[in-house]
Amino acid sequence: MDTRPNQISFVTMLKKAIPANVNLADEVAELLEVSADSAYRRLRGETDFSLEELVLLASTYNISLDTTLMNGTKMVSFRTNELSAHVSGFADYLGVLHSDLKWIRQWPNAKITYAAEDLPVFYHFFFPQLARFKMVYWNKSILGNTELNSAFVEDVNIPEEWRAEVPRIIDVFSQMPSVEIWHEDTLKSTLKQIEYYAHVGYFKQKETLAQLMQELADLMSMVRIQAEYGRKYQPYTKKVLDTPFELYASEVMIGNNCVLLNSDVQNATYLSYNTFNFIQTKNEVFNQQTISWTKNLLSKSNRISEVAEIARAQYFNQRMEEIDELRGRLRL
């Protein structure tokens, strides 16, 4: 009997993607609109899935086809977001973040490992002035949205879609165990962006700039509290949560933002490009390379959460000094 190894590999991934209490053959039969017997033959590798059937199953259950169809090659496929030079495009970006976090959370021992060349994107959503600034910077300076050419930061309103999406992202991120690796330069790009906008006159009022700098300081305080307790912290309610949090200070340059969503069942790697956007792959060979890379980076980093109180204080005091230095240059 021809067992079709690529198909069996795909079925193995399909089994992992479907909850244990669900009958796989019934799911496949219903989705493909075939009989239960036809579904069983496909699952046993006795009958081929058609290309259309593979695509339908892969898209329905978030399975990477390249892991099976390109097995043994050096080809890796990535999913990318469609860049849009409109403020509404940022709302679509939020939707992807939310859905991907929900996707990984369904699996046992799910967590985020974030190697942060820049401030991890999720923290911006806890602070409205900072979130708006980043949205304006992306659309105005990176994507070249001509509608914002003469606009001040204060003139741009947060899209209505944010009001529903941001709280959901905050909620699921707050419940996800995280391991974060920061460098001494992790904060610097945001400071440079703010200083640039201040110098070219994109802030209408100094009050807005002062609020933005205060939120940046509050963000540092939030992460410092998380590092102290080894648990995530909710700045709105001022409560330390039960969600595990680990923070490492790396002396090795990280190079780019790399996020690994991993669990006992599924993994995904995210790499930054075009400043704020990211590409994603579920290719398991690539994911294992990412896991090895992050383990190596962690081995060369100092853990400053829960332990190393002096090193932790030094790290965050230096970041606060950088914020205060910029406040001084901006005469705030």
- CATH number where 34 lies: 1.10.260.40
Whether residue 278 sits in one domain with residue 153: yes
Neighbouring C-beta atoms of residue 18, cutoff 10 Å: 14
Query: How many Å apart are CA 316 and CA 221, to the nearest integer?
Result: 8
CB distance 167 to 128 below 8 Å: no
Whether residue 273 sits in one domain with residue 236: yes
**Residue 74 falls within a domain, yes or no?**
no
Q: Categorize the per-residue pLDDT at 267 as very low, low, confident or very high, splitting at 50, 70 and 90.
A: confident
The arithmetic mean of pLDDT across residues 178-203, rounded, is 94
Whether residue 264 sits in one domain with residue 232: yes
Name 158's Cβ contacts closer than 8 Å, sequence gap at least 6.
128, 131, 132, 135
User: Is residue 44 exposed (0-12), middle (13-18) or buried (19+ Cβ within 10 Å)?
Assistant: middle
Give per-residue pLDDT as tens, 29-87: 888 888 888 887 888 777 878 778 877 887 777 676 666 665 555 667 767 766 555 65
Residue type, 219: L
Please give the pLDDT value at position 323.
96
Give per-residue pLDDT as tens, 116-149: 999 998 999 899 899 889 888 888 887 777 777 7
The residue that leads in pLDDT, 2 or 177, is 177
Query: How many Å apart are CA 289 and CA 292, to the nearest integer?
Result: 5
Phi and psi for 141 in degrees, rounded to 5?
Answer: -95, -30
Domain boundary among 32, 49, 69: 69
pLDDT at 1 over 50: no
Whether residue 132 sits in one domain with residue 28: no
pLDDT at 159 over 70: yes
CB distance 83 to 143 below 8 Å: yes
- In the chain, how many domains are there? 2
Q: How far is CA 167 from the centre of its chain?
A: 15
Token look-up 């609020």 returns 211
Domain that holds residue 53: 5-69
Mean pLDDT rounded to a whole number for the chain: 84
Please give the pLDDT value at position 173.
92
